[in-house]
Chains A and B, each alone.
Chain A
Amino acid sequence: MRVILVEDEALVALMMEDLLEELGCQIVASFGALAPALEWLDAQSTLPDGAVLDVNLGGGDDVFPLARALRDRGVPFAFATGYGVLPDEGFAEATVLHKPVDLGMLWPVVKSFRPAA
């Protein structure tokens, strides 16, 4: 399972990477900001199987442009956020994990990334 992570807080990111790896994921890319993540996605010929996305990326950036790009490409993703309610950006259907995130919360998300075949 090839997964990407977007999380602007370094410490939180280290743990999320660990948790995802413990669940059998391979972290193919991990970003702390929006722009490099978008750039990376554009350059991929093989898409990842899933993504875990922090919502607020600091400096006024949010992750929604990347979420839209992933949705357009059919890559499943889940948000991980410290905000109680997501701003209305057209992702009412998306899975939202509330921080702090643990293995129990992450497991069904990772399972849902697995291709049906």
Chain B
Amino acid sequence: MPGAGILERGASADALFTLVEMIEDLSSARTVDQVAAVVRSTARRIAGADGVAFILREEAQCFYMDEDAIAPLWKGQRFPLDACISGWAMLNRQTVVIPDIYKDSRVPHDVYRPTFVRSMVMTPVRPNDPIAAIGAYWAVERQPTEDEVTKLQIMARATAAALDSALMHASLAETLQRRKVLLRELDHRCKNTLATVQSIAHQTLRCSPSPEDFVEAFNGRLGALARAHELLTRGAWGHAGLKAVLAQALGMFGGADGERIRVSGPDILLAPESSVAMHMTLHELAVNAARHGALSVESGRLAVEWSVDMAAEPRALDLTWTETGGPEVAADPVRGFGCRLIEKGVAREFGGQARLTFAPEGVRFRLQAPLSARLRLE
């Protein structure tokens, strides 16, 4: 037992008390900075060294986070794991004892030359998966005693537990913070969705000749909004692919890339809110096509094609919706909410232009919009 060893070897009661105090302080440390501060303020006294350093592992680097020494060491500096002794101790998961640093080839001599250090002990913190190291340094060439090495290892064990708890604390705090942000975001999205529903109701009411018409059109749009949100939820409210948005919007009308509907173009990603607007627009076009246009008859065909003009500055999306083989289109149909949404909605969303044309051979829609954060190539 290392503790008994200290007593048997007659270590001073003072060092032992300091060690107990250190362990108590470590157990109440809640952050990595606090752990480092406890180590700095006590380790040198316990080890009886001329200097100590607390080194934190940062992926492939050793960060000399804190120190307490008779003269400056490397506080605040970073070295590659394979170019310093703390890195060696962490990579090899063992304590290093070096009586004369200039006779040991693992020591980067140039880094030590400006310092007082002649001998040292470096021990990894949490040896089975090192996350830090504690170094003790002496200004003279000497063989560190077994007692000194043991004390340093005890400190490292206490530090490991404290660091684990600090890291757990940080992750817990982060989780709670994220939960708070998510709740706020949820509240915001809910209200925006309600505002969207309100807008749909308002617009649908303006263009409905009868309550029956209102109910039918409103329910259709509400369903489209729900499906747009389904798509977003599947993608965790990240960007959604244009092809996925099309598949969702055309699902009720024979599906994208079926016999009658052809969809082709490069993979484009839409921001969450933009994919809702795009989905609602495509829904309006599809409903119109199913009711009066190409999707209302067996012979009708629909092609949705798009490309990105790479030469344009900024690069721009050019999307066309072309209906063919349907009944002849009336030259000037009544332009309701659907038209307004189709022409103004996405154009506004993407800062581009949208045009709906009622050509006799079939309805056409064209959207031209610059690529942006809302609309980008996958």
Interface status of B280 (Cβ within 8 A of chain A):
yes
**In this assembly, does B344 line the interface, its C-beta being within 8 Å of a C-beta of chain A?**
yes
Closest Cβ–Cβ distance, residue B348 to chain A (whole Å): 5
Size class of the contact patch on chain A: 20 to 34
Of the residues A18, A58, A100, contact of B195 by C-beta under 8 Å: A100
Q: Which residue of B lies closest to A84 (CB)?
A: B187
Cβ-defined contact, A82 with B348, below 8 A = no
Bound CA–CA A11/B202 (angstroms): 11
What is the CA–CA distance of A102 and B195 in the complex, to the nearest angstrom?
9
Known contacts A10-B349, A12-B192, A15-B198; decide if A58 and B187 are in contact (CB<8 Å): no
Contact A99 B346 (CB under 8 A): no
Could you give, for residues 272-294 of chain B, a 1 whenever the CB lies within 8 Å of some chain A CB and a 0 otherwise? 11101100100000000000000
Whether A99 touches B345, Cβ cut-off 8 Å, given contacts A9-B273, A18-B202, A59-B374, is no
Q: How far is the CA of A19 from the CA of B205 in the complex (A)?
A: 13
B191 lies within 8 A of chain A by Cβ: yes
A11 touches B374 (CB 8 A): no
B195 x A101 contact (CB < 8 A) = yes
| Chain A residue contacts of B16, Cβ below 8 A | none
Q: Is B200 an interface residue (CB 8 A)?
A: yes
Question: B337-375 interface mask toward A, CB cutoff 8 Å, 1 = contact, 0 = none?
Answer: 100110011101101000000000000000000000110
B203 within 8 A of A: yes
- A10-B348, A15-B199, A36-B351 known; A82 vs B187 contact (CB < 8 Å): yes
Asked if A98 lies at the interface with its beta carbon under 8 angstroms from chain B, I say: yes
Query: Is the Cβ of B198 less than 8 Å from the Cβ of A83?
Result: no
Known: A15-B203, A81-B191, A100-B198. 15 other contacts (CB 8 A): A9-B192, A9-B277, A11-B196, A11-B341, A13-B348, A14-B199, A14-B341, A15-B199, A19-B202, A58-B274, A58-B374, A81-B188, A82-B187, A83-B187, A83-B191
Q: Which residues of A contact B (CB under 8 A)?
A: 8-16, 18-19, 30, 32-33, 36, 56, 58-59, 81-84, 98-102
